Amino acid sequence: MFLTGTEVAEPNVKKTAKQRKAEDAEVKRQMKDAKAPPAKVPGFSPREKLVEVALQTKDRRFFSRAIVNRIWLRLMGRGIVDPPDQMHSANDPSHPELLDWLARDLASNGYDLKRLIRGIVLSDAYAISSRFSGKGEAPPPETFAVASVRLLTPRQYSLSLLVAASNPAQITTQATTAEWAKRRESLENESNDLAGQIELPSDNFQVSVDEALLFSNNDRIQNNLLRDSADRLVGSLKLITDRRQLIARAFESTLSRAPDADEIAVFEAFLTKRKKDGRVAAIQQMVWALLTSPELRFNY
């Protein structure tokens, strides 16, 4: 039964053992033989019926609202209806007028997802900080008055790691030239392999053992992200003689912020203690700690 009350009854088709065996054989043949003729169209398709019912003019708003809510969740970290799969009368949206308006706009513009996404990411709500600057307790998350901290997707995370591990001077220079589009595409392509090894975040996400081992033991992390070369952050940091400047540059390049006094003290002590390991090795360990920190794993 749909939320509208519409019911779809699947016909009870009885088949003999011989018929089922023949159908199984046909499925296997279709999977193995690329030149096999098209499979026989079934008399009843639940998926086709689902689309037919869901897109009826009088019921289409449920379809539009579900799309809007899922896109909003993906971009904002929380749906207008939360949980997103509980869209019913007992679970009201936090902003019903907004949800209805976006759903109507989506349907009236041919389900143009680019238009929907563009509207959301250009909104004040999307641009708001996750840090509450007011007095008293922060507003509840369903108000969207403060941004939700959310995990980066594998593609976002792998690309962020690659950019953060690059020589900041080169990235800054390239970003202001006409060649940046090509450079960005190159970085995205380079990050694809690592993205495939990172777990896709879900509700109640926790970093898996596989991901922890990836960053601890994978040769690519050491030989690529932590490489001592002119095009990498490690290679640029080793040229800085002042430790405080070195630490500040590392934080700015990886976390896009300056270190606080406690962080400077901790890393100064670390670099001093690790002198015996070699200066470059100590810098590599510091950069590794920043790249694998929770702060880089999340979108603030």
pLDDT in tens, 43-90: 777 778 777 777 776 667 888 999 999 999 999 989 999 999 898 889
Of residues 9, 5, 8, 7, the one with CA closest to residue 88: 5
Cβ neighbors of 147 (< 8 A, separation 6 or more) are: 76, 77, 126, 128, 129, 130, 300
Output the average pLDDT for the chain. Answer: 87
Say what the pTM is.
0.72
Structural domain that includes position 133: 1-24+44-147
Higher pLDDT, 14 or 8: 14
Is 35 within the bounds of a domain? no
**Highest mean predicted confidence (pLDDT) among 163-172, 247-256, 274-283:** 247-256
Q: Is the pLDDT of residue 148 over 60?
A: yes
Percent of the chain whose predicted confidence (pLDDT) is above 90: 47
**Same domain as 96, residue 163:** no
Domain count, the chain: 2
The CA distance from 198 to 6, in Å, is 41
**Same domain as 253, residue 224:** yes
For 227-252, how does the pLDDT look when each residue is reduced to its tens digit (9 = 90+)?
999 999 999 999 999 999 999 999 99
For 260-270, how does the pLDDT look when each residue is reduced to its tens digit (9 = 90+)?
999 999 999 99
**Same domain as 188, residue 130:** no
**Same domain as 190, residue 129:** no
Q: Name the 3-class secondary structure at 87.
A: coil
**Same domain as 231, residue 167:** yes
**Same domain as 243, residue 127:** no
The CA distance from 160 to 100, in Å, is 35
If pLDDT is split at 50, 70 and 90, which confidence band does 4 have? Answer: low
Q: Is the pLDDT of residue 1 over 60?
A: no
Percent of the chain whose predicted confidence (pLDDT) is above 70: 96
Q: Are 277 and 271 in contact (CB under 8 A)?
A: no
**Same domain as 62, residue 180:** no
Q: Stretch 18-30: mean pLDDT, rounded?
A: 84
Question: What is the pLDDT, as a whole number, of residue 283?
Answer: 95
Q: Are 237 and 283 in contact (CB under 8 A)?
A: yes
Of residues 73, 141, 142, the one with CA closest to residue 102: 73
Q: What is the DSSP string of 262-287?
A: HHHHHHHHHHHHGGGG-HHHHHHHHH
